[in-house]
Amino acid sequence: MPIRFPQHPGLVVYLTAGDNGLFADAAQIRPGDLAVTREIALAAIDAGADVIELGVPFSDPMADGPVIQRASERALRAGTRLQHVLHLAAELRAARPAAGIILFSYLNPILRYGMSRFADAAAESGADGVLLTDMIVEEAGDYLAEMRRTGLNSVFLAAPTSPDARLQAIAEHSSGFIYAISRTGITGKQQQLAADAAALVERIRRWTRLPVAVGFGISNADHVAQVGQFADAAVIGSAIVELIERSTPATAPGEVSRFIKGLRQPSGADPWMQREQSARS
């Protein structure tokens, strides 16, 4: 399915699948039971998330900052496997037919599962597409062939450091949307949106009509509003993963829902955000 952002700015929400936060009672949760992530994802969709990126936890998340590293470690400790994430995608698809669902992974778990087998399973789950963090267009021959064969979107990352020739290739091989990285760096929250982001989106638009989502470091309504001025959507990752970390499985869906609703409200309307910001500055 094409990815749609009916509201402006669109919201893409990243979740590390299988992370139940710091306060979950491990004894209560069966290995591979992703019910907590499912409830959070449903709440996020109902609160206005257009796309859910389901993060497959990996032992060596070299593009991620401490927040997502910790979430990945917790998810792996809870026994999360790729097939569980695929199952979760199918559950979300059944429950929310219109939501965008992207499987987000490092390459190695996919290679081990088998690229072709993965593409079949992902398509069958009803996911709309795939994003592989450590896959660049030059190496993507097999991957793109499998995505095309199974009708899945392939989302590539574009970076502020990518020269125009690379952006052109990225635009050519992307489908669904293009994920523009707001700054050089790893995932994680930040105070200010780098000026890099607007310039990058402008350069990307020379090569494509696909929607462009901006991510990395977007953590509040001001950032989202800023992104909305030049891009189609904002990706929220670490800010939500950190919120889940500090919540219990029972409270996380409500917290995430409230947070996402706040992201589209005018600046400063959310008292929780203000507290967060002053605590950090």
Q: Which of 9, 18, 65, 176 binds other proteins (CB under 8 A)?
A: 65
Alpha helices in 21-163 (DSSP H): 35-46, 66-77, 82-95, 107-113, 115-125, 141-150
Any bridge partners for residue 236, and if so which? 13
- If one asks whether residue 134 binds other proteins (CB under 8 A), the answer comes out as yes
- Does 64 participate in catalysis according to the annotation? yes
Q: Residue 154 CB, nearest distance to other proteins (Å)?
A: 13
- Does 53 participate in catalysis according to the annotation? yes
- If one asks whether residue 94 binds other proteins (CB under 8 A), the answer comes out as no
- If one asks whether residue 138 binds other proteins (CB under 8 A), the answer comes out as yes
Residue of 26, 105, 64, 83 whose CA lies nearest to 242: 64
- If one asks whether residue 36 binds other proteins (CB under 8 A), the answer comes out as no
Interaction mask 173-212, other proteins, x per CB under 8 A = --------x--xxx--------------------------
Q: Residue 115 CB, nearest distance to other proteins (Å)?
A: 11
SS3 183: coil
Q: Which of 24, 41, 110, 122 binds other proteins (CB under 8 A)?
A: 110
CB 18 within 8 A of CB 231: no
Query: Which amino acid is located at 174 in the chain?
Result: S
Q: Residue 17 CB, nearest distance to other proteins (Å)?
A: 13
User: Rounded to 5 degrees, what are φ and ψ at 51?
Assistant: -135, 135
Give every CB contact of residue 114 below 8 A, 6+ residues apart in sequence.
Answer: none
Q: Residue 183 CB, nearest distance to other proteins (Å)?
A: 8
Residue of 208, 207, 164, 157 whose CA lies nearest to 186: 157
Let me know how long the chain is. Answer: 281
Q: Residue 160 CB, nearest distance to other proteins (Å)?
A: 8
Interaction mask 73-92, other proteins, x per CB under 8 A = x--x----xx----------
Residue of 130, 138, 144, 78 whose CA lies nearest to 100: 130
Residues that bind other proteins (CB under 8 A): 58-63, 65, 69, 73, 76, 81-82, 106-113, 133-136, 138-139, 156-163, 166, 170, 181, 184-186
Which residues are catalytic, by number? 53, 64
